[in-house]
Amino acid sequence: MKKKYLFPVICLFTAMSAMQTSCSHEDVDTFDTSYTALNIWVGNPAAVYESATYNYSYAYEEGTVTFYAQISGMPVDYDRTFTLEVFGEDSATVAPTVRTETYVLPAGAISGTYNVHFNSRQLASPDLFTQHDGKVQFRVKENDTFATGTTGRQSFTIILKNYLAKPDNWDTANYPRLPLSRYFGAYSRVKYQFMIETLGLVTFEINYNATTAFDSETNVASAAYALYLQQVMQRALLNYNETHDTPLTDETGVPVTF
């Protein structure tokens, strides 16, 4: 009679062994939720660019370059931070002009938009990058929170320039276009830098016949909007002079006016 029970017992033992083997195999292949890589890039949130350009001449003091970060891994229920480090051929020259932050990826987030900052006043020489472009790179500083990102998203490059040309329409313009000097006074490099930094406009025209205040596709302003921009610059200059030890002066030492 005992032989009648032998086959079921063997089957049960075999099944239990298979279950143990299966569980052991699952333990090995379980997804590691603690692994998180951080990808960084410039361009826009949907497109990865190898580099971006920063022109020191487009800001009198400090300007920014936007970069993007996204994790490869799982979001968590707490804030995580990271910092960047500068490297590359011009890093030693550029480092005094660079300001980075302790960047925060908020709880539950998988991506974010951030900035690195460049200060024109901290350049060792105003002639740097006027004859040839510079180059500096940024990568995530090693930490226990994030692993290195995927290939092509481990760092980004900033091409550095320092060119600024006087606009052709500063002193003269063919009617109905009006010269910029009519609203902003005599040209100086410092004044133009300050305008670009404040208004975010590198080049624009003023058209007496324009009916739209400002056409962002053609960068054409109406006469009324140009008057508004003049007032914006006057307020910005007043604020600058009130918050600095010395008033804003141009490259020859003459106080800037609008």
Q: Once rounded to an integer, what is the mean pLDDT over residues 195-208?
A: 95
Give residue 205's pLDDT band: very low, low, confident or very high (50, 70, 90): very high
Is it the case that residue 210 has pLDDT exceeding 50? yes
Residue 94's pLDDT is what?
95
Residues 167-179 pLDDT 10s: 999 999 999 999 9
Residue 33's pLDDT is what?
55
What is the C-alpha separation between 197 and 202, in angstroms, rounded? 9
Structure-token match 């931070």, residue found: 81
CB-based contacts of 257, cutoff 8 Å, min separation 6: 185, 237
Structure tokens at 170: 């500063």
Is it the case that residue 218 has pLDDT exceeding 80? yes
Higher-pLDDT residue of 150 and 116 is: 116
Total residue length of the chain: 258
Indicate the DSSP class of residue 126.
Answer: T
What is the C-alpha separation between 213 and 225, in angstroms, rounded? 5
Kindly report the backbone phi and psi dihedral angles of residue 100, in degrees, each rounded to the nearest multiple of 5, phi listed first.
-110, 180
What is the C-alpha separation between 62 and 99, in angstroms, rounded? 9
What is the C-alpha separation between 199 and 233, in angstroms, rounded? 8
What domains appear along the chain, each with residue ranges and CATH number?
37-161 (2.60.40.1740), 177-243 (no CATH)
Residue 142's pLDDT is what?
85
| 3-state SS, residue 140 | strand
Percent share of the chain, pLDDT over 70? 86
Kindly report the backbone phi and psi dihedral angles of residue 28, in degrees, each rounded to the nearest multiple of 5, phi listed first.
-70, -40
Q: Once rounded to an integer, what is the mean pLDDT over residues 103-127?
A: 95
Neighbours of 232 (CB within 10 A): 14
Is it the case that residue 25 has pLDDT exceeding 60? no
HSE-CB at 141 with a 13 A cutoff on CA atoms is: 10
What is the C-alpha separation between 103 and 29, in angstroms, rounded? 33
| 3-state SS, residue 56 | helix
| 3-state SS, residue 242 | helix
